[in-house]
Amino acid sequence: MKNFSVKQYQESDYENWNAFVGQAKNATFLFHRDFIEYHKDRFEDYSLMVFDNEKLVAILPANKVENEIFSHQGLTYGGLVYNEVSKLMTVITAFRAVLLFLAANEIEKLHLKTIPSIYHNKPAEEIQYALFLAEAKLVRRDSLSVIDLSQKYDFSKIRNRGVLRGKACGLVIKEETDFESFWNEVLIPNLDERHNAKPVHSLEEINVLKNNFPSNIRQFNVYHKDKIVAGTTVFESERVAHCQYISKYESKENLGSLDILYHFLITDVFANKRFFDFGISNEAQGKKLNDGLTYWKESFGASTIVHDFYEVETKNYVKLDCFFTKSNND
């Protein structure tokens, strides 16, 4: 069994970390340090780097809360990140090293959220097997509504009618570099009125992220008679267009604004992506489903994949020891 070493990320590791993210088989721009650290004031960073001798073989974006470690709570998805040449045994060994390191530093529990398979550049579910071996507990499961754009999909009749309505109303779709009108005139008022909530990202934060990742974060607005009525913020990675925010603010009018917007995005702007991800429709750790929202997403042709969250006691590194036998040729 290889003797891997683990260290906490430091500022001096910035270039090495980002270079690893750039060639990993299960990473997106969310794992770049410039994305992780836009909200560093909210989280105590405890990101880890795993080495085989001096070679970096895995990273774990993470933060600390008391004596527990979380797959970074400021990211939609997370988990152990590794490159395309990593074998199953390498990932299991790296995960064991992480658990051992945490146990040695008096961390009792690791909360690890996976990276949904649609974001993998190549099959990369080695960590799920390692979690099984370590007797990790599944504590949350979200449902994502996703269109596989490489397969045939159909919009429902009601969505197609909405598209026609939007055209008849003369709606105009524009891609913008400025987020202010969507945030202040649509997203914030809508979230406040309907859910008594605020966007995860402030206007200042989304502008910082757009500046850092101009080709990955895109804003599309819908206008009626020159007034913004709807919009969406899309996080674009190599294989996936993900809707980070979806909102309309049409007063009592039904203009078909979101229907025409998403028809345009799915059939035109992101038609060459492999997946179009509407995101989750869950609450209460995945145990409550907003069926109306799910139906709306499914009416564009989306179906469901799951996003799993686990808890594992760090002392369970010993459960991985018996998995390694003398027959291994490490």
Kindly list the domain boundaries of the chain, sorted by start residue: 5-141+308-321, 151-273
Choose which CATH entry (3.10.105.10, 3.50.50.60, 3.30.300.30, 3.40.630.30) describes domain 5-141+308-321.
3.40.630.30
What is d(CA 245, CA 44) in angstroms, rounded to the nearest whole number? 26
* pLDDT level of residue 327 (50, 70, 90 thresholds): very low
Residues 6+ apart with CB under 8 A from 300: 147, 153, 155, 156, 159, 262, 266, 278
**CATH placement of domain 151-273:** 3.40.630.30
Structure tokens at 216: 């990955």
What pLDDT score was predicted for residue 84?
A: 85
This prediction's pTM: 0.93
The reply to whether 151-273 shares the fold of 5-141+308-321 is: yes
Residue 168 has pLDDT above 50, yes or no: yes
- What tens digit of pLDDT does each residue of 228-241 get? 999 999 999 999 99
- What tens digit of pLDDT does each residue of 91-149 get? 999 999 999 999 999 999 999 999 999 999 999 999 999 999 999 999 999 999 999 99
Residue 330 has pLDDT above 60, yes or no: no
Structure tokens at 274: 């492999």
* pLDDT level of residue 283 (50, 70, 90 thresholds): confident
